[in-house]
C-alpha cells in the first residue's frame, strides 16, 4: 500500500502545506520510502509537456538507441531534457507544494540535482528490479540514516497495465537486502498525479504493452553533500540556459555546472 498524502482544499488553494500535514508526509515517507501526491498538476499542463517532449525527442524513439540516450533496460531510454520552454515552468522543479515536502524531508539546504526522463518504447519488456543508487556503505547504517536523495516522478501519460507502471516495493529503502522483500505495488497513475521516491527504494518499470511511447519526467533532489555517480554516465544532470539558471536561483540551490559523472 502506498499512502496518498491527504492535502486539504485550503492547502491546494493556498499552495502551502500545514505543519501537521508535513509531519504526516514525513511519517509516511519514512515508513514506505515513497509518497503519492494527487492532483498536483492540471492534466492540460501535462499534455502540453507531453506534446513538447515527443516533438523534441522524437528522433530518440528508435529501437536502435542513439548516442543521446542512456539505456536503462531493453527499449527503455534515459533522456536528458533541456530546461527551456515549456520545461522551464517553475511548477516542475520548484512546485510550492512539492518543495515544501522535499525541504521538510531533506532540509532547507536541499539541492536540485537533476532533471531527466525515462521513456519506454512500445513492447519494452519489464525492467530489472533495482535501486536508483548503490547504498552509501553497504552496511546496516544505510537503512538507519534518514533519506538523502529523492526522485520526483511525473508521468507524462497515464501509467496503467497497458502503458506499464513503475512497480515499487514499499519499505525496501529500510532493508539492506532488497531482494528479500516481496510485497510490491503496481500504482495506476492518472496524469496530474506524482510520486516521491527515496533513492534507496527497490523498483522496476513494467512492460509497455501499448502502441505509444511512455515518458516519465524525473526531478532529483538531494542533500548538499550527496553526489549521484551512477545515473548520468553520458547525460547532463541539468541542462540549463542563462534564463532558467537565473530564475531557478531564487527558489533552490543547484550546481551550475552539473557535469556527467
Ligand atoms: O520506467 C520506469 O517505470 C522506471 C524507470 C526507473 O525508475 C529507472 O530506470 O530508475
**Which residue out of 69, 71, 73 has the highest number of ligand 1 atoms within 8 Å of its CB and is therefore the one to mutate?**
73
Q: Which of 33-47, 157-171, 245-259 has the lowest mean pLDDT?
A: 245-259
Where in the sequence is the domain holding 148, given as residue range(s)? Answer: 9-254
Q: Are 167 and 185 contacting, i.e. CB atoms less than 8 angstroms apart?
A: yes
107 part of a folded domain: yes
Element (H, E) at 31: helix 19-32
Block residue for cell numbers 502503458: 163
Mean pLDDT of all residues in the chain? Answer: 94
What's the CATH code of the domain at 34?
2.60.120.620
Record the cell numbers describing residue 17, joined without a space: 502545506
Residue 41 has pLDDT above 90, yes or no: yes
Residues at CB less than 6 angstroms from ligand 1 = 72, 76, 118, 120, 127, 132, 166, 203, 205, 216
pLDDT at 78: 96
Q: And the C-alpha cell for 202?
A: 527497490
Evaluate whether residue 3 is within a structural domain: no
Q: How far is the CA of 244 from the centre of ligand 1 (A)?
A: 26
55 assigned to some structural domain: yes
Joined together, the cell numbers standing for residue 67 give 548516442
Q: 1 lies in a domain?
A: no
Apex 135 CA angle, 129 and 139, nearest 5:
120
Q: So what's the pLDDT on residue 214?
A: 98
Summarize the confidence of residues 123-147 as an average pLDDT. 96
DSSP 125-183: -PPPPB-SS--SSSSGGGGTSPP-EEEEEEESS-BSTTT--EEEETTGGG-SSTTT---
Of 251, 238, 239, 222, nearest to 95 (Cα)? 251
Ligand 1 atom with least separation from CA of 78: 9
| pLDDT grade for 230, boundaries at 50, 70 and 90 | confident
Sign of the torsion formed by the C-alpha atoms of 116, 230, 126 and 139: negative
Q: For residue 79, give the nearest of 237, 258, 212 by alpha carbon.
A: 237
Mean pLDDT of 139-168: 97
259 in a structural domain: no
User: What's the whole-number mean pLDDT along residues 65-93?
Assistant: 94
Whose CA is closest to atom 6 on ligand 1?
A: 205
Is residue 7 pLDDT above 90, yes or no? Answer: yes
User: Is residue 109, in this structure, part of any structural domain at all?
Assistant: yes
Question: Whole-model pTM?
Answer: 0.96
Confidence at residue 261, expressed as pLDDT on a 0 to 100 scale: 53
Question: With 60 as the cut, is the pLDDT of residue 85 above it?
Answer: yes
Residue 250 has pLDDT above 90, yes or no: no
Query: Ligand 1, residues 72, 151, 185: which to mutate, most atoms within 8 A of Cβ?
Result: 72
261 within some domain: no
Residue 4 lies in a domain: no
What is the tally of structural domains in the chain? Answer: 1
Task: Please tell me the distance from the alpha carbon of residue 112 to that of residue 92, in angstroms, as a whole number.
Answer: 11
Amino acid at each position: 500500500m502506498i499512502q496518498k498524502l491527504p492535502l486539504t482544499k485550503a492547502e491546494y488553494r493556498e499552495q502551502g502545506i500545514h505543519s501537521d500535514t508535513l509531519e504526516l508526509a514525513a511519517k509516511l515517507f519514512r515508513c514506505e520510502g515513497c509518497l503519492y501526491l494527487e492532483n498536483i498538476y492540471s492534466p492540460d499542463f501535462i499534455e502540453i509537456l507531453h506534446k513538447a517532449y515527443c516533438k523534441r525527442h522524437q528522433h530518440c524513439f528508435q529501437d536502435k538507441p542513439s548516442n543521446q540516450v542512456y539505456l536503462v533496460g531493453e527499449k527503455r531510454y534515459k533522456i536528458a531534457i533541456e530546461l527551456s520552454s515549456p520545461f522551464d515552468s517553475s511548477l516542475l522543479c520548484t512546485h510550492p507544494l512539492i518543495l515544501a515536502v522535499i525541504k521538510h524531508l531533506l532540509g532547507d539546504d536541499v539541492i536540485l540535482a537533476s532533471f531527466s526522463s525515462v521513456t519506454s518504447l512500445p513492447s519494452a519488456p519489464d525492467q530489472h528490479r533495482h535501486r536508483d543508487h548503490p547504498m552509501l556503505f553497504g552496511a546496516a547504517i544505510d537503512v538507519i540514516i534518514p533519506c538523502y536523495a529523492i526522485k520526483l516522478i511525473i508521468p507524462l501519460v497515464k501509467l496503467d497495465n497497458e502503458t506499464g507502471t513503475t512497480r515499487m516495493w514499499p519499505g525496501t529503502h529500510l532493508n539492506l537486502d532488497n531482494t528479500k522483500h516481496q510485497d510490491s505495488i503496481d500504482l495506476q497513475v492518472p496524469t496530474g498525479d506524482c510520486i516521491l521516491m527515496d533513492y534507496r527504494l527497490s523498483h522496476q518499470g513494467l512492460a509497455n504493452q501499448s502502441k505509444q511511447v511512455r515518458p516519465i519526467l524525473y526531478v532529483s533532489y538531494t542533500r548538499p553533500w550527496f553526489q549521484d555517480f551512477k545515473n548520468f554516465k553520458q547525460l547532463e544532470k541539468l541542462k540549463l540556459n542563462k534564463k532558467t539558471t537565473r530564475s531557478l536561483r531564487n527558489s533552490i540551490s543547484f550546481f551550475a555546472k552539473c557535469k556527467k559523472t
